[in-house]
Amino acid sequence: MKILLKILGGLVGLIALLVVFVWFDMKPNIPDAGFQLQPPTITGDKHVLVFGATRNTGYEVTEDLMARGDKVTAFVRESSDRTQLEALGVDFVVGDAIDADSVKAAFAGGEYDAVITTLGAYSAPVPPDYVGNANVFDAAAASGVKRVIMVSTVGAGDSSDAAPKLSKIFLAGVLPLKTKAEDHLRASGLDYTIIRPGGLPPGLGTGSGLLSEDRSTMGFIARPDLARLIVAALDDDRTIGKTFAAVDPAQKSPIENLLFGGAD
């Protein structure tokens, strides 16, 4: 019995240490002020080609653009579930981001004002985080579509020190690819904006997400709030040539969510 109690005591102590580690490791670092995005003077006048539109952030972005009257063409794979997008009334072009020729064909098939890419996959045989995004940037440059927004992640490039240790472990295979894609975009000559979200908790968001150029920024932001920032950045030419972290000061860390509930 004493041995069992010692084992249980050791497990409790280990769990407590783990909780403390995660608490401090995932602790947000929010800047005092964010980049002040300007409201658009005109909406509903753009035709945007979206890569990654079938789910998560890409879908949220597409929904926001369609809701305000923009035209959206979604680049989708043959096997993609288009049910939600069809309900929005978007146009489609079919291809595979890993195949450069099909990406080039997508650009040849329409006249676009901008491109938004949220491409990324943890388990794909060939992750699109670099190859797919590089194909998008090259095809945009070749077709004359100058405006490109890429969704990356905190931890890529010069934000490496901002990422929690757990994130670096979990994203060890992805962060170098995101970094290469960012560098490829910066060297492309395109009018780019790179947005690096922190952690992406579920939920509808709080409406208080912000963009920061501070490379030490780390935090959490729900995908609907991230999508709103992406669309706002598209409207604001002052974001061209900039790289931002996207976080929400009202979002708690995972441990705080577990112990105290969701966003403030």
pLDDT (tens digit, 9 = 90+) per residue, 50-71? Answer: 999 999 999 999 999 999 999 9
Quick one: tokens of 28?
Answer: 């947000």
Specify the range with the lowest mean pLDDT, choosing from 122-131, 136-145, 226-235. 122-131
* Whether residue 2 has pLDDT greater than 80: no
Residue 247's pLDDT is what?
A: 97
Backbone φ and ψ for 76, nearest 5 degrees, come out as: -130, 155
pTM: predicted TM-score of the whole model, two decimal places = 0.88
Residue 227 host element (H or E): helix 223-235
Q: Which domain range does residue 249 map to?
A: 2-260
Q: What pLDDT was estimated at residue 119? A: 96
How deeply is 76 buried, as exposed, middle or buried, from its count of CB atoms within 10 A (0-12, 13-18, 19+)? buried
**Vertex 192: Cα angle to 191 and 196 (nearest 5):** 165
Residue 137 has pLDDT above 90, yes or no: yes
Q: Is the pLDDT of residue 259 over 50?
A: no
pLDDT over 90 at 191, yes or no: yes
Q: One-letter amino acid identity for 166?
A: L
Q: Is the pLDDT assigned to residue 260 strictly greater than 80? A: no
pLDDT for the residue 152: 98
Residue 116, classed as helix, strand or coil, is strand
User: What long-range pairs does 202-205 form, CB within 8 A, spacing at least 24?
Assistant: 203/262, 203/263, 205/248, 205/263
Question: What does the pLDDT read at residue 15?
Answer: 52
The pLDDT of residue 125 is: 78
Number of domains into which the chain is organized: 1
Rounded to whole angstroms, how far apart are CA atoms 253 and 264?
A: 11
**Residue 23: pLDDT band with limits 50, 70, 90:** very low
Which pLDDT value is given to residue 240?
98
CATH number at residue 44: 3.40.50.720
| Per-residue confidence band for 123, with pLDDT thresholds at 50, 70 and 90 | low
Mean pLDDT (the chain, rounded): 88
